[in-house]
């Protein structure tokens, strides 16, 4: 269920509070992009946007003015808050998470599963679809806020918009010291990534529930980097999606598009007219015959990386600078 946010502000930070009431009017920013028009110019419009927000650009609205926080029914007795510190974009910008007034870690304090039997995980959205700043949960910083990645001393952006909502699954970890027996690759030292394939943008910092339907085994610079693919439980198509075939039927061509996006985004190629061209080097690869594995396999991946996370937290594996809540 989505919850209604209430808004307060300050000079140094902006805080979004979540009241435990159903949403009567939720602000969303919707893209006119369809699978066949990835390369086309995108037009944004709003659905039931509060009047106070109608004059602002959707791409620059502060989180505190545009994000509902989704939580499962079992968690309705408490409330999350999100605190932004620093100006966006900047090296100092951070998104902190709180629960009942206490700072929490989105990696360590949110359960992995919202409904394990139904294959529904909790997910932390780091990057909103149709944006390109590479935001991530900072695994080596205290409380693991979201920040923008840095590369060679500069804020990192993708070379093009990412066409799906993107985030991580809490309490998972891909062990860089454990070689996968089939892929012959070691983990990338991060929580498991999740791609939300649905039709609406989900704002950065949202904690939402996603049905984990499939997974791709990406190999990035020799490291295993699972890409779980799923659909938000808030998406009207979710109830009819219970397999990779269902997902392909509901969102035709998107699994292939996700594979090609992640294969090529680090390459020297260009994305033109809805496809990648002029690629000579820098591509990622995929294991498992490049297949998008089914829900059962996806659940096994999540369970395996949950076990690796448990080993990390128990001290059986060296943290090597990761911030672990004790």
Q: Residues with catalytic annotation?
A: 158
C-beta of residue 301 within 8 angstroms of C-beta of residue 226: yes
* Token representation of residue 238: 């979710």
Q: How far is it, in rounded angstroms, from Cα 126 to Cα 108?
A: 16
* CA nearest to 106, candidates 145, 51, 72: 145
Beta bridge partners of 2: 70
Taken in order 36, 240, 207, 6, the sign of the CA dihedral is positive
* Token representation of residue 323: 């911030």
**Residues ≥6 apart with Cβ < 8 Å to 18:** 3, 4, 5, 6, 68, 69, 71, 79, 80, 81
3-state SS assignment for residue 249: helix
Backbone phi, then psi, for 86, in 5-degree steps?
85, 165
What is the DSSP track for 18-57? EEEEE-SS--EEEE---GGGTTSPP-EEEES--GGGTTS-
Q: Are strands 3-9 and 28-31 parallel, antiparallel or unpaired?
A: unpaired
């Amino acid at each position: 269920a989505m919850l209604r946010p209430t808004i307060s502000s300050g000079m140094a930070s902006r805080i979004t509070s979540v009241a435990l009431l159903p949403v009567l009017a939720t602000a969303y920013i919707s893209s006119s992009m369809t699978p066949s028009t990835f390369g086309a110019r995108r037009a944004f419009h709003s659905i039931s946007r509060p009047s106070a927000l109608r004059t602002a650009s959707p791409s620059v609205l502060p989180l505190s003015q545009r994000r509902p926080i989704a939580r499962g029914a079992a968690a309705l007795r408490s409330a999350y808050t999100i605190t932004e510190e620093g100006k966006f974009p900047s090296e100092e910008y951070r998104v902190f998470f709180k629960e009942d007034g206490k700072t929490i870690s989105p990696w360590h304090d949110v359960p992995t599963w919202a409904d394990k039997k139904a294959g529904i995980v909790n997910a932390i959205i780091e990057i909103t679809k149709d944006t390109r700043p590479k935001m991530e949960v900072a695994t080596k910083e205290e409380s693991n806020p979201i920040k923008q990645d840095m590369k060679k001393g500069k804020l990192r952006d993708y070379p093009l918009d990412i066409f799906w909502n993107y985030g991580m699954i809490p309490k998972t970890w891909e062990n860089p010291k454990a070689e996968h027996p089939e892929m012959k690759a070691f983990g990338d030292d991060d929580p498991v990534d999740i791609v939300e394939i649905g039709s609406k943008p989900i704002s950065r910092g949202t904690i939402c529930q996603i049905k984990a339907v499939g997974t791709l085994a990406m190999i990035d610079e020799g490291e295993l980097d699972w890409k779980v693919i799923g659909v938000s439980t808030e998406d009207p198509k979710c109830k009819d999606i219970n397999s990779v075939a269902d997902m392909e039927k509901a969102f035709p061509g998107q699994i292939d598009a996700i594979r090609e996006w992640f294969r090529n985004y680090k390459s020297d190629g260009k994305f033109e007219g809805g496809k990648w061209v002029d690629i000579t080097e820098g591509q990622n690869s995929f294991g498992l015959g490049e297949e998008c594995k089914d829900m059962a396999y996806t659940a096994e991946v999540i369970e395996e990386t949950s076990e690796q996370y448990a080993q990390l937290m128990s001290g059986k594996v060296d943290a090597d600078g990761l911030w672990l809540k004790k």
